[in-house]
Structure 1
Amino acid sequence: MVGQVFRRRWQLLIVFAIAGAIVGAGASSVLSPGYQTSADVLLQGSHQADELTTETTVATSSTVLDRTAKALRWGVTGTELADSVAASVLDGNVIAITARADSPEKAKKLADRMAREYVAFSTELAAQQTDASTSLAKDQQDALRDQIEQTNDMISQLSRRANGDNVESVQVRTQLQEVRSSLTEAMTTLAESESSSIRSNLVVMGSAELPTAKAAPTLTQLVIGGALVGILVGVFAHLISASRRRRVYADSDIASALGANILGTVTVPHEHARNPGEADRPHLVALGRQLLGLDRPWFVEQLPDAGDERDQAVRYRRLVHRLHETAGTPLHILAVVADDDPEALSGVARLAAETGSAGEPTEVITDIPGFANVVEQLDAGPSRPVVRERAETTPAGNRTILRLVEVSAELPTVPEPADEAGVVLVTTAGTRTDWQLDGLTQACVDAGYPVLGAMIVHRSRPAAAPAGPAAPPASVSDDALAGAR
């Protein structure tokens, strides 16, 4: 079915592709980032994952954005720059600051300035943290120094008390001296550690590269992607539409749904089948439907060739013969067609013409606007039937009276019987559902008509015009072309 969509509705798929491309081009103003580049900043030292995440937030903070906007002097605010920059964590404690702009130069300048302002702002934060830590450490160091001096005084007092010459006194003084030395070394180490810097340095790892092409998705990519999406939407729309259709195409299925025998199967050239009501439709609308392939179904097999005139005449002659066998002679029958089935009208017009060609004067009684024009388009010559809006008051005699009515396909209503022998249901294959076909039959039964049978019309391609001079028409009999339906 997908192949049939592409083969038979490729014109409409092109329209879907163009529409998708237009949508993609319009979306490029929102989705296309333009030119993009990035500047890397290295954080020296050891850092946890959450610390690196915090640094990305600092890199795109409002302070950094405002400083960048002020330095660039592009006439934009920091808030407006927020959508054009982003920060992410790379391997090795590296913060990547990505900038987007409508030109390569602007993208490079934005990335470099953001990196410098981020480093400057982060250094200020670290300096403030260092000053606070140094002040606190100095207070703690002074308090510790007082405690050490008090401890030294106590050690001196204990040392003076142990001023004897015995061995125990000497050992006590030695141990006290070792304690004093350990306290002094601890004080020195504490002072050195507190005076050292507690912050890590940030280094910009070179200038951002000048981009040579726009970043994905580019305008071209979005246009191509939109066209592909448009084609997919068109294909899926056709498939969904086909899955929801329940129209009947096979002759046996149509006969089963109608509950009637098939009197004959005929073909009508599709380009010649026109609904009389379409005469008022603007020519451009009809031309547009034809160019897009909407004037023919795609989900059925390709229309067969109409065949030559001899084949068509045989089919209609046999149909007329079966009608005589069923309804008697002369024929006086009612033909019922749906109001949206122009091919069925053309089939009835040809049936009336073939009835007249057998030597039987034929009269079609109908109030369908434009049906007379359909009959006039037939090359029937003297056998062309007479079309009237109402029956004559004179007796029918040997004339064939064909009364033609159109009914609604959804809610059919057949008029009251006159003196017809029965009704013939005329429908085009692939135009009705099972329920609609059954509704046609039930409407005829409700009106009191016996159903003589069904005439099924198939759309076909018009026969090619002969290259040479036209040959004289051959006589046609019911025995000709025994293999034809």
Structure 2
Amino acid sequence: MNDDTIRLATIGRLLRRRWRLLVLLTVVGTLAGYGTSMVFPPRYTASASVLLPGQWEERELLTQVDIATSSSVVDLVAAELGWSDVSGDELRDRVTAKAADGNIITISGTADTPARAQQLSDQVARQFVGFAARIAGGSTDPDAATGTEALRQKVVETNRRITDLANAADPGQTVESVQARTSLEKLRTSLEEAMTKLDEADPATDKAGMVVMGPAVRPTGEAPPTRMQLIVAGALLFFLLAVIGHLVAARADRRLRTEPEIAAALGSALLGTVDVPADAPDDIPGERRAHRPEGRGRQARIRRLLGVDTRWDIPTPQWPGDEAGSRIRYRRVCARLRDQLPAPRRLLLVVPDGDEIALRAAGQLAAEANSDPSPSSSGRGYPTLRVVEVSVDRPIVPDRDTESGALVVLSAGNWTAEELTGLAEACADGGHEVVGIVVAGTVRARPTRSAGDPPDKATPVLAVRGHATGGAV
């Protein structure tokens, strides 16, 4: 198909002519989304926040996030919760953590009920704080903190005792007294250095311990994707797939739509284009009556109900001109055909089987030619035309008898180059030269005339069908 498939007007035409099918597919997508929501039960997510006081670098925060979701922490949570219907691996998939501004780590837990989600996130936060404190060298045991403080008191008492001993030593300047005071000062210095190293090793000296900022809030709504989100996503997905499928099919369509392409496939010259009024104001060009069966089976009725019995990718018919202008087109085609032939003769009007628009145009063209207007200055009238329908699947044109030559009449956008090439070869096999091509197009039907309106000067004509299925005609 040409570039018309990607224009907004083409999409609008698709929506207008295929809206019933698109609505049906959208409903199917809605049901598919609802079914998916039934397969996957609703989930609820609760979040708890942990504050990390002090100065933390970004990489340190990311390390703490990884620790919060590690198997070591989650296994402790699983053992504490004791949920028999959820394994440790499943629980690990339901826990997430992320670092927020202000040295805050948000821990989220997802479960099948709001109460479980709240319980899970609170338990993960508590286990994370305890585990992080242990691996950092701290402890959440109050006895350990009491022992550290007692050690500090002992060191202070020892320093005081050393001072007393130094003062009580022999104030003289003997070698023994000097050595005793020197040893006591070295002992005091060693104790002070040991306490300094102990303070530096304590993480509480530069960073306070992590704090859980209250219990998690019990969730009141489902976690995404919710049932409504799945339903909307299913409907939208099916609608978009239907639209894209129609556009891809139109792009891959190999039927010829322009006069130069049709003329090249048939190997002959284009004599002109003619207009055919549609059966109804809303008829779509390129429609075939065979595509609009009336009461021929349930499948045909379903296709007609969904609007898939007609093509959507043909432009909307234009409003017609006056009756005289339409007849002028037919007369010009007959005049060109007369001027092209060396002498008046009988020709076949070859119409592809099933092309109702071309068949009606051929009937009008044959009637115009057979009306035999006043001869031109050359003394020659229009050639005599006889309409025959030829199947494009197995094209067979009657052998050359009284007719010597073929004029092909067809509508654009219905036939591929291979089909038209086969039609031209069938004409050659029957001994007929393709003397020209006429392309028929559809225009909107004219308003119905009232009883008092005068009739047109044009005489209505009917196409005389000739059958070309292999037998004599």
TM-score tier (shorter): 0.5 to 0.7
The amino acid across from 1:89 in the alignment is A
Q: Determine the structure 2 residue equivalent to 1:87.
A: 97
What TM-score results when the alignment is normalised by the length of structure 2?
0.65
Q: Deviations over 1:179-236 (max 9, x none)?
A: 4322244246537966996687443210112334444444444544555555554554
Partner of 1:304: 318
Q: Residues 9, 285 of structure 1: CA spacing in aligned structure 2 closer, same or farther, 3 A cutoff?
A: farther
Summarize the Cα distance change of 1:260–1:126 in structure 2 as closer, same or farther, 3 Å threshold. Answer: closer
Q: Which amino acid aligns with 2:13?
A: R
Residue equivalent to 1:348: 362
Residue 407 of structure 1 corresponds to which residue in structure 2?
392
1:334 maps to 2:348: yes
* Cross-structure match for 1:459: 442
User: Which runs of 5 or more structure 2 residues have no equivalent in the other structure?
Assistant: 1-5, 152-169, 374-382, 460-473
Match of 2:276 among 249, 260, 267: 267
Aligned AA for 2:46?
A: T
Counterpart AA for 2:194: L
Q: Which residue of 1 aligns with 2:310?
A: 295
Change (3 A) 1:68 1:428: farther
**CA 1:262 to 1:294, structure 2 compared with 1: closer, same or farther past 3 Å?**
same
Q: 1:288 to 1:457 in 2, by over 3 A?
A: same
Q: 2:124 aligns with which of 114, 136, 156?
A: 114
Structure 1 residue 399, shift from structure 2 partner: 9.2
Aligned CA distance change for structure 1 residues 326 and 187 (closer, same or farther; 3 Å): closer
Paired position in structure 2 for 1:158 = none
Match of 1:425 in 2: 408
Instruction: Give 1:458's aligned amino acid.
Output: G
Alpha-carbon contact 1:268-1:347 (below 8 Å) kept: no
Once superposed, what is the RMSD of the aligned Cα atoms?
5.0
Tell me the amino acid that sits aligned with residue 178 of structure 1.
T
2:75 counterpart (58, 63, 69) = 63
What residue in structure 2 maps to residue 473 of structure 1? 455
Match of 2:468 in 1: none
Per-residue deviation at 1:421?
A: 2.0
Q: For residue 41 of structure 1, what is the amino acid of its counterpart?
A: V
State the match for 1:208 in structure 2.
216
- State the shift of 1:320 in Å: 5.6
236 and 50 in structure 1: CA distance in 2 versus 1, 3 angstrom threshold: closer
Contact kept in structure 2, 1:332 and 1:402, CA below 8 Å: no
Give 3-state SS (helix, strand or coil) of 2:186's partner: helix
Do the aligned partners of residues 329 and 313 (structure 1) sit closer, same or farther apart at CA in structure 2, a change above 3 Å counting?
farther
- Does the CA-based 8 Å contact 2:392-2:422 persist in structure 1? no
Equivalent position of 1:381 in the other structure: none
Counterparts of 1:50 and 1:250, CA distance in 2:
64
* Identity value in percent: 30
The separation in 2 between residues aligned to 1:83 and 1:92, in whole angstroms, is 26
* Partner Cα distance (1:194, 1:476) in 2: 115
Deviation at 1:429, TM superposition (A): 1.5
| Paired letter, 2:389 | L
> How many positions carry a matched residue from both structures?
408
Structure 2 residue 156 is matched with structure 1 residue 174: no
Sort the Cα spacing of 1:450 and 1:58 in 2 relative to 1 into closer, same or farther, 3 A. closer
1:9 is matched with 14
Inter-partner Cα distance in structure 2 for 1:428 and 1:342:
9
Tell me the secondary structure at the aligned position of residue 348 of structure 1.
Answer: helix
Q: In 2 relative to 1, CA 336–68 (structure 1 residues): closer, same or farther, beyond 3 Å?
A: farther
Task: Give the Cα–Cα distance (whole angstroms) in 2 for the partners of residues 444 and 316 of structure 1.
Answer: 23
Aligned equivalents of 1:112, 1:448: Cα separation in 2 = 92
Distance 1:420-1:191 versus aligned 2 partners, 3 A rule: same
Q: Give 1:103 shift.
A: 4.8
1:100 has 2:82 as partner: no
Letter aligned with residue 185 of structure 2: S
- State the 1:424 CA deviation: 1.3
Amino acid aligned to 1:174: V
AA of the residue aligned to 1:204: V
Alpha-carbon distance in 2 for matches of 1:173, 1:403 = 140
Q: 1:274 to 1:302 in 2, by over 3 A?
A: closer
SS of residue in 1 equivalent to 2:79: helix
Cα distance per residue 1:58-107 (max 9 Å; x no partner): 4774423423542xx58444444333322233345433220224554443
Runs of 5+ in structure 1 lacking a partner?
142-162, 360-397, 478-485
- Report the more deviating stretch, 92-101 or 279-288: 279-288
- Check 1:285–1:356 CA distance in 2 against 1; reply closer, same or farther (3 A cut): same
Shift of 1:38: 0.4
- Which residue, 34, 41, 64 being the options, matches 1:52? 64
The answer as to 2:45 corresponding to 1:36 is yes
- Counterpart Cα distance in 2 of 1:347 and 1:119: 87
SS in 1 for 2:110: strand
